[in-house]
Amino acid sequence: MPEITYLEAIRQAMWQEMKRDDRVFLIGEDIGRYGGAFGVSHGMLDEFGPERIIETPISEPSIVGAAVGAAVVDMRPIVEIMFMDFTLMTFDQIANQAGKMHYMFGGKATVPMVIRMPGGSGTGAAAQHSQSLETLLMHMPGLKVAVPSTPYDAKGLLLSAIRDPNPVCFVEHKLLYKTKGEVPEEQYTIPFGVADIKRQGKDLTIVSSGIMVHKSLAVVNRLAEEGIDVEVVDVRTLKPLDNDTIINSVAKTGKLLVVHEAVETAGWAGEIMAIVSGSRAFDYLDAPMRRLTGKNVPIPYNRQLERAAVPQEEDIEREVRAILKGEY
Amino acid sequence: MPKAKSKETLVEKAARLGLSNEDLVDMLRTMYLIRQFEYMADRLYALGKVHGTMHLSAGQEAVAVGISRATRKDDYLINHHRGHGHFISKGADINLMMSEFLGKENGYCKGRGGSMHIADFTSNNLGANGIVGGGIPHSLGVGLAIKHRKSDALVITLFGDGAANEGVFHETLNMAALWKIPSLYVCENNKYGMSMDVERATAKLPIAQRAEGYGIPWYAIDGNDLLLVYETMKNAADYIRAGNGPVLVETQTYRYFGHSKSDRNLYRSKEEIENWRTTKDPIMRFRGQLVEENIITDEFADQLDKEGLKINEDAVAFAEASPEPDPSTVTEYVYA
Ligand SMILES: Cc1ncc(C[n+]2csc(CCOP(=O)(O)OP(=O)(O)O)c2C)c(N)n1
Ligand SMILES: [Mg+2]
C-alpha cells in the first residue's frame, strides 16, 4: 500500500471525488495557484480549472454562505477556511443556516457540504490561528464533526463527509499534515460515528482525537515496556460520537482519561465523562474519571508557553501513572 | 422591450409590456390575496392561534407581485423574514401555508418552521430567513449551481433596507459582480429596519447606488407602482438571463403593520402611516387605474378582495382541522 502524507490523503480524497462527481467543487481563499495556505489543494487548479477550484475574496461569511446556497440546490461544495479560528466569523452561516435548515424546513432541505478547517496549535501562529474549536461545532444540532488523526482516516472520513447529506465540519490538525501513513489508492469510506481503537489495552482507557492520539500512543507504547497496558480510543468523529465503543472500553478497563487539545472548560472531555457516568460502564469504574486538556487560555506565542498551554507527552504519562497509582 | 412614452395610459403600458387584461386582473387578485392573508395572520396572532413572531408585509404587495410576474416559475427565490407576499405570489398553496402558521404537521415545513422559516423546495422557493441578511450570500452558491448546469434560470435574492448594512451584503455583491452571478438582488426599502429610519442607518441614499461600487447596474424605484416594478424586474431579468451578471433594484415601499408582533409605532407618526395608506397604497392605486380604464368595475374589484378573504378563511378551517405534529417526533429532521 502506498505511503502518503495526511495532506496528500486529503487532496487525494477531494481529487478523486471531484473526478467521480461533477457537483463537487472547492471554494476558498488562495486555493488556486497558491494551493491554499497549507498547500492542500496544490495542483488542483490545473486539473479542474477555475470553475471548480473557486478562489474568493477574503469574505468568510459569504464563502460559507455561498456553499450553503449551492448545497441546497444539490451541489456538493467543499469550503476551505484558512484557519479554524476564522470560522468564528462565519458562525451565522455554519450554525444558523447550514445546521438548522434541514430541521426548520421540516426535512425538506438538505445541506450536503463540507467545511475543511485546519485547527490546533504548535506552529507558533499564536492566539488567533491556533485554537481548537470543535466543541463549539459539536454543540450545534445539525452539524457533524470529523477529527481525523491519520492519513488513512483522513481520506476515508473526507470521502464520507463529501457524500454525507449534512453539513460536515472537517477538522484537520496542522501538525499532522506532513505525517505519513499507508493509504489505499482506491476510494473507500469510513463511516461517521465509528471510533477506532488505535491500541488495545486492559488497564486504562484513553479517549482522544487528532494529534493527541499520536501523543497518547507514543506514551502508551513506552509504558507497555513496563507492563502498563493502556487502550487508546480514537473517536475519529466527535459528532456523531461512538458511545458504545467508549462505554465498552471503559467497562473493560475500569479507568478513563480523556485527552484533548481544546481548553478544559466546557470541552468535550466533559461530554465523554457524562456519557460514561450515565452508562453501564459506571459500575465498572474503579477510579475517578480524569481529563487532560488545554489550559483555559488563548494559545500563546512563546514556544515554551505554547507547549505549556496544551497537553504534552510528559503530561499524559504523568496523568496515566497517577490514575493507576490512585493519586489524584 | 420598447421604451415608455412620456405620458402613457395604463392600457398602452400594458400593451407595451405584453400584459393582457387577464394578467392585470390576476395581479390585482394576488395583491388582494396577500393583503387578506396578512390581515388574517394578524387576527390569528391576536387570537393566540399563531404564536412566536411574524412580519407582515401589508403595503408592500406590489413588490412581491411585480417580481413574481416578471420572472419564471423555475427561478429560485431566496426570501427574507418579511416574505409572506413573495411566498404567496410565487404560487403557494394557502392551505399548506396556513397549516405552517398554525404549526401543523401538514404545513410546508411540517410545523417546524413557521412564518420566519417557510420554504417550498419543490417550487425552487428556498426559504425565508430569521437572520437579517442571512440569505444574501446563498445567492452566490445558487448562482454557481445555475451556471454549472448551464441553465438560464436566475435567483431572486430579497432583503430589506436594514439588511443592506450587514457585511454579507457587500461581500456578496462584490463576488456576484466578479463571477457574473445570475441574481436579481431586490432591496425592499420600507423606510425602517425595525424602528431605525433608513435615513439614520444608511450614510448615502438611495441604497441601491452602492451597487455602483461593485460595477453592478442598479435602479431605485417606486415599489408601490406595480407596473413600474414589473417593468424594471422584467428588464433586469432579461439582462441577467443574457449572462450579464447581477442587478440590484431598490423598491421604495412602506409597511402598515408594526415591525413584528410587538410594535407600538413609537418611531413614526400616525400621519405618516395614514399618508401612505391613503395616497400611495399599491392596491388602491392599481385598482383605481383598472377601474378608470374600464378594465374592471368597482364591484368586481370588491369581489376579488372578498375572494381573497374567502380563500384565507377556508385555509384557516383547513389548517385548524389538520393534525398537530406528534411530540415524540421532536428529534426528527436534525440530520438528513
Ligand atoms: C442578524 C440579525 N440582527 C437583528 C435581527 C432582529 N431584526 C429582525 S428584522 C430586523 C429589521 C430588519 O430590517 P429590514 O432589513 O429593513 O427589513 P424589514 O423588517 O424592514 O422588512 C431586525 C433588526 C435579526 N433577526 N437578525
Ligand atoms: Mg426595512
A313 plus A175 within the same structural domain: no
A96 plus A31 within the same structural domain: yes
A255 plus A319 within the same structural domain: yes
Q: How far apart are CA A214 and CA A6, in angstroms?
A: 13
Contact B141 A66 (CB under 8 A): yes
DSSP states along A242-260: -HHHHHHHHHHHS-EEEEE
Ligand 1 atom closest to Cα of B189? 16
A121 plus A262 within the same structural domain: no
Domain closes at, from A142, A160, A182: A182
- At B5 the pLDDT is 64
- At B81 the pLDDT is 96
- At B261 the pLDDT is 73
- At B51 the pLDDT is 87
* Residue ID of nearest Cα to ligand 1 atom 11: B193
A55 plus A140 within the same structural domain: yes
Contact B130 A109 (CB under 8 A): no
* Residue ID of nearest Cα to ligand 1 atom 5: B132
A268 plus A234 within the same structural domain: yes
Q: How far apart are CA B265 and CA A92, in angstroms?
A: 29
Is the CB of residue B161 below 6 angstroms from any atom belonging to ligand 1?
yes
Ligand 1 atom closest to Cα of B57? 21
Chain B interface, best mutation among A62, A97, A111, by max B CB count within 10 A: A62
Contact B336 A56 (CB under 8 A): no
Total number of domains constituting chain A: 2
Nearest to A140 by CA among A92, A172, A106: A92
Q: Is residue A154 less than 8 Å (CB to CB) from chain B? A: no
Check: pTM over 0.80? Answer yes or no: yes
CA B216 / ligand 2 centre spacing (Å): 22
* Residue of chain A whose alpha carbon sits nearest to that of B169: A62
pLDDT by residue (tens digit) across B63-114?
999 999 999 999 999 999 999 999 999 999 999 999 999 999 999 999 999 9
Q: What is the mean pLDDT of chain B?
A: 96
- DSSP SS3 for A33: coil
**Is the predicted pLDDT of residue B138 greater than 80, yes or no?**
yes
- At B263 the pLDDT is 80
**CATH number where A215 lies:** 3.40.50.920
DSSP class of residue A116 equals E
A276 plus A245 within the same structural domain: yes
**Is the predicted pLDDT of residue B55 greater than 60, yes or no?**
yes
Q: How far apart are CA B79 and CA B136, in angstroms?
A: 9
Q: For B10-320, which CATH class?
A: alpha beta
- At A326 the pLDDT is 95
Ligand 1 atom closest to Cα of B131? 26
A144 plus A69 within the same structural domain: yes
**Is the predicted pLDDT of residue B6 greater than 80, yes or no?**
no
Residue written as grid cell 474503579: A286
A177 plus A200 within the same structural domain: no
Q: Is residue B109 less than 8 Å (CB to CB) from chain A? A: yes
**Is the predicted pLDDT of residue B1 greater than 60, yes or no?**
no
Is the CB of residue B81 below 6 angstroms from any atom belonging to ligand 1?
yes
DSSP states along B179-199: TT--EEEEEEE-SEETTEEHH
Q: Omega of the bond prior to A240 within 30 degrees of 0, cis?
A: yes
- DSSP SS3 for B63: helix
**Is the predicted pLDDT of residue B132 greater than 60, yes or no?**
yes
Which residue among A59, A65, A109 places its CB closest to the CB of B121? A109
pLDDT by residue (tens digit) across B158-178?
999 999 999 999 999 999 999
Share of chain B above pLDDT 70, in %: 98
A188 falls within a domain: no
Domain closes at, from A129, A159, A182: A182
**Is the predicted pLDDT of residue B262 greater than 80, yes or no?**
no
**CATH number where A123 lies:** 3.40.50.970
Q: How many CB atoms lie within 10 A of CB A283?
A: 8
A271 plus A176 within the same structural domain: no
| A296-315: burial string, b at 16+ Cβ within 10 Å, e else | eeebbeeeeebeebbbeeeb
Q: Is residue B111 less than 8 Å (CB to CB) from chain A? A: yes
Q: Bridge-partner residues for A232, per DSSP?
A: A199, A206
A153 plus A64 within the same structural domain: yes
- pLDDT digit of tens for each residue in chain A (328 aa)? 999 999 999 999 999 999 999 999 999 999 999 999 999 999 999 999 999 999 999 999 999 999 999 999 999 999 999 999 999 999 999 999 999 999 999 999 999 999 999 999 999 999 999 999 999 999 999 999 999 999 999 999 999 999 999 999 999 999 999 999 999 999 999 999 999 999 999 999 999 999 999 999 999 999 999 999 999 999 999 999 999 999 999 999 999 999 999 999 999 999 999 999 999 999 999 999 999 999 999 999 998 999 999 999 999 999 999 999 999 8
Task: Please answer whether residues A65 and B137 qualify as being in contact, where contact means their C-beta atoms are separated by less than 8 angstroms.
Answer: yes
Domain closes at, from A156, A182, A208: A182
Q: How confident is the model at residue B264 (pLDDT cuts 50, 70, 90)?
A: confident
Q: Is residue A118 less than 8 Å (CB to CB) from chain B? A: no
* Contacts B153 to A, Cβ<8 Å: none
Is the CB of residue B308 below 6 angstroms from any atom belonging to ligand 1?
no
pLDDT by residue (tens digit) across A278-308?
999 999 999 999 999 999 999 999 989 999 9
CA B89 / ligand 2 centre spacing (Å): 20
Chain B interface, best mutation among A73, A76, A239, by max B CB count within 10 A: A73
Q: How far apart are CA B148 and CA B142, in angstroms?
A: 10
Q: In Å, how far is B294's CA from the nearest CA of chain A?
A: 44
Please report the sign of the dihedral spanned by the C-alpha atoms of residue B247, residue B169, residue A145, residue B118. Answer: negative
pLDDT by residue (tens digit) across B184-215?
999 999 999 999 999 999 999 999 999 999 99
Q: How many CB atoms lie within 10 A of CB B322?
A: 18
Question: A68 is in which domain, residue-wise?
Answer: 3-182
A164 plus A267 within the same structural domain: no
Distances in whole angstroms, Cα of residue B139 to Cα of each of A60, A66, A87, B1, B77: 15, 7, 20, 27, 9
Q: How confident is the model at residue B3 (pLDDT cuts 50, 70, 90)?
A: low
